[in-house]
Amino acid sequence: MKVTYIPDFLFDGDTFHTDVPVTVSDGVISSLDIENGAKEVRIPGTLAPGFVDLQVNGGGGLLFNHFPTYSTLEKMISAHSRYGTTCLLPTVITSDINTIRRAADAVSEAITKKLPGVIGIHFEGPHISAAKKGIHDASQIRELSDEEMAIYSRQDLGYRLLTVAPENVSNRQIHQLKECGVKVCIGHSASSYQRTMSAISAGAAGFTHLFNAMSPLTSREPGVVGAALTADSCWCGIIMDGLHVHEAAAKIALKCKPKGKLFLVTDAMSTIGSNQNCFELDGREITLSDGALTDASGTLAGSALDMVTAVNNSISALGMDVGEALRMASRYPGNFLDENNEFGTLMPGKQANFTQLIINQGRLQVQHSWINGQPYY
């Protein structure tokens, strides 16, 4: 059935428009016009591209690491669609190889069954630095084995992203991963600037949660942060919850990175879309207090951030215009995965992934989300 959505405003990924309808047929945008025979639906507020989140640890009360199943993925996309996310990479953090394999199998099932919203997988670890492990389990940190390389090389997982520390993988392995279609990101690393730049030359394409769990920029050793800010070819994800990154640091990143190379991630845990305020992670109790998820020592454990809040924080804290903040949550992460992708623009021929936004007390609020043309929230 064809449906024509007629919003007050349309943000197509580039420009805001008035009086521009969107007609959807078979999960795809067929035109930006009213079509004969289409059901017409009025949409108050703005229709914008759905958000693309490349780092999602959980949602709906479940962590993907704890429950790496198809059912968990269903709950995660249901939880995050409430906040405008229509595509995500479920993220499995440092763990044993059995958990990693089960996570890959769950994502493969989701891709095969075309579960709306799940477009691939993010392996965050276990090939990271113990010195910059953050909340990750130190006992599971290790070098990259042939068995793990075989998992990452699978072609049934959709988009694949792997976060590594250059000190724990070789340039040969980075090149091999790139050649088989894996997006290699640098994160949880105490690497030097020189070693990080060498990894980029070998094929690393991005950085995971910029500034967090990486060697800092100093006058004589620029570190991983220095490499991230000066490598114009690389993309950087950033967590804009007001806790992980100071707004001044985020402003510096905006000034340093070419337009389009800095994008929003949530690093969200299981609390999103649930009433949960504590959970266990690798034997440690994680509690939610004042918006922060921490263990008993105060170490941050992912975030309680949703994507529309990240967009609002970017607007308020960074003085960013609404269009650019929306692009940082949709078009730019989509471009990182694939510059010829289906994400972040509302144009004929693109997947009908979009979200309805209204203004409530000066902030954007999600009213509904559609994935592949179907109402999902």
Which amino acid appears at position 18 of this protein? T
Per-residue HEC secondary structure of the chain comes to CCEEEEEEEEECCCCEEECCCEEEECCEEEECCCCCCCEEEEEEEEEEECEEEEEECEECCEECCCCCCHHHHHHHHHHHHCCCEEEEEEEEECCCHHHHHHHHHHHHHHHHCCCCCECEEEEECCCCCHHHCCCCCHHHCCCCCHHHHHHHCCCCCCEEEEEECHHHCCHHHHHHHHHCCEEEEECCECCCHHHHHHHHHHCCCEECCCCCCECCCCCCCCHHHHHHHHCCCCEEEEECCCCCCCHHHHHHHHHHCCCCCEEEECCECCCCCCCCCEEEECCEEEEEECCEEECCCCCECCECCCHHHHHHHHHHHHCCCHHHHHHHHCHHHHHHHCCCCCCCCCCCCCECCEEEEEEECCEEEEEEEEECCEECC
Q: How far apart are CA 22 and CA 219, in angstroms?
A: 52
Q: 33 an active-site residue?
A: no
Q: How far apart are CA 241 and CA 308, in angstroms?
A: 11
Q: Which residues pair with 52 in a beta bridge?
A: 87
- Write phi, then psi, for 286 (nearest 5 degrees): -110, 130
Which residue among 12, 53, 267, 282 is the active-site one? 267
Q: Which residues are catalytic?
A: 267
